[in-house]
Amino acid sequence: MEQLGIAYRRFDAESRKSGAALGIDSSARHLGKVVELQRRRDAGEELNVTEKRYLLRNRHAASNLAGAVARLVDAQQRLDELPASDSLRRLLEAPSVTEAARLLRRHPGRIVRAVGVEGVPALTVSLIATAVLGPIGGAMALTGTGGIDGYAKGLLGALAHAGVDVSDADDLTRALRDNELMERIRKDAMTEGAIAAGVTAASMMVPIPKSSRRAPLSLAMKVPAANAKGRGFPTFKKFKETIGKAPPGYGWHHIVAQTTENIRRFGAENIHNTNNLVLLPHGPGTIHNKLSALYGSKKKFSGDQIIKNWLAEKSSEGQATLGRKYLKMYMKEIR
């Protein structure tokens, strides 16, 4: 049934395409004739009644042709967008993480073939790349819905929890070939803790510019070192315009806070920097909320000051080190 469904849609899209092509052909012939008659009339030649009627009937030939071209382009796009496999389409439209995971486990072969990769590990890597590219690069390789996006991030988080260095391609490849480990990873990937950890891990990786339809995997998997120079922006607004707004349920978190004083001391481009911004789940009980509460809390180790004020006196490196430490601590806590 699923093959019939996809076949019908493909047939329909192909019919529209061939109809639009015929429309272009017809409109083009009409326009050609109209141009010819207009040229003769403009040259002072008397047109007979049939020719005059033809001109009147086809006075919109040019706009008809433009419309037919637009319909052809539209039909071609629909055909291109239609997944070759219904399993893949269902995966792309999965409404939940569980459903995305179930489809992947039930139809791995069909999905792998439809995506055009060599096997499940490659697909998994592709999903992990998707997790990296999705929210921060706007260049989702496979995703389009919350289910698959969440599952991809869950895979990334579960791999990180299992001690796999997701920034190291060799370590990752070894993990992907370990069937027992991957069996566990696929189960863990559906937990909220893994998804949240994956979101954080993904957002800490090198973002890919919006213009890249598909970024090389090697680029997507590099985790910038704490002192690495990321891509800076003059304002947070500019950062979001270029890198992307946080998806619903998430928020961008500045590791070194975007206070007026920090911007003055360290420069806007170091604050609104891909190396200083992390995408975190937002809302009660999330890391983002915990961090906000923490930065407003007094501590003995901060000399009884609230953390935010204590950090303000520190260097950019000092603030970043503690900010990263807190992120890691909360990531462990929500496991």
Partner 1 sequence: MNNQLLRLESDYRKYAEAYGKAVERDDATAANRMFDKINALGPKLRAHGMQGEAVLRRLMKDRSDVIASWAATDSLPFAEAEGLAVLDALGKKAGSIAFDAEMTAEQWRAGKLKIG
Q: Which residues bind partner 1 (CB under 8 A)?
A: 284-285, 289-290, 292-294, 296-301, 303-304, 306, 325-326, 329, 332-333
Q: 224 with 205: CB under 8 angstroms?
A: yes
Which amino acid makes up residue 211?
S
Cβ at position 299, least distance to partner 1 in Å: 6
Closest contact distance (angstroms) between CB of 91 and partner 1 is 35
CB-wise, 234 or 303, nearer to partner 1? 303
Residue nearer to partner 1 on the CB measure, 245 or 325: 325
Kindly state the smallest distance separating residue 330's Cβ from partner 1, in Å: 8
In the complex with partner 1, the residue whose CB is nearer, 79 or 294, is 294
Q: Among residues 44 and 284, whose Cβ is nearest to partner 1?
A: 284
CB of 188 to partner 1, least distance (A): 17
Q: Which is nearer to partner 1, 272 or 290 (CB)?
A: 290
Exposure b/e, 9-41, CB count within 10 A at least 16 = b: beeebeebbeebbebbeebeebbeebeebeeee
Q: Alpha-carbon distance 306 to 319, whole Å? A: 14
Closer CB to partner 1, 226 or 293, in the complex: 293
Structure tokens that stand for 58 in this block: 């086809």
Least CB distance to partner 1 at residue 161 (A): 13
Pair 123, 117: CB distance under 8 Å: yes
Minimum CB distance to partner 1, residue 78 (Å):
48
Residue 67 and residue 80: Cα distance in Å, rounded?
20
Closest approach, Cβ 8 to partner 1, in A, equals 52
Closer to partner 1 at the Cβ: 243 or 307? 307
Q: What is the DSSP string of 235-288?
A: SHHHHHHHH-PPPTTEEEEESS---HHHHHHH-HHHHSBTTTEEEEE-STTSHH
Name the packing angle between helices 120-137 and 108-115 (round to 10°).
60
CA dihedral of residues 302, 324, 228, 173 (deg, nearest 10): 160
CB of 301 to partner 1, least distance (A): 4
Would you say 103 or 307 has its CB closer to partner 1? 307
User: From the CB of 103, what's the least distance to partner 1, in Å?
Assistant: 34
Q: How far apart, in whole angstroms, are the C-alpha atoms of residue 106 and residue 104?
A: 6
Give 281's strand partners.
250
Exposure pattern of 222-232 as b/e (b: 16+ CB <10 Å)?
A: ebbeeeeebbb
In contact, 128 and 122? CB cutoff 8 Å: no
In this complex, which beta carbon is closest to partner 1, that of residue 35 or of residue 329? 329
Beta bridge partners of 232: 273
Using an 8 Å Cβ cutoff, are 331 and 290 in contact? no
Contact 109, 89 (CB under 8 A): no
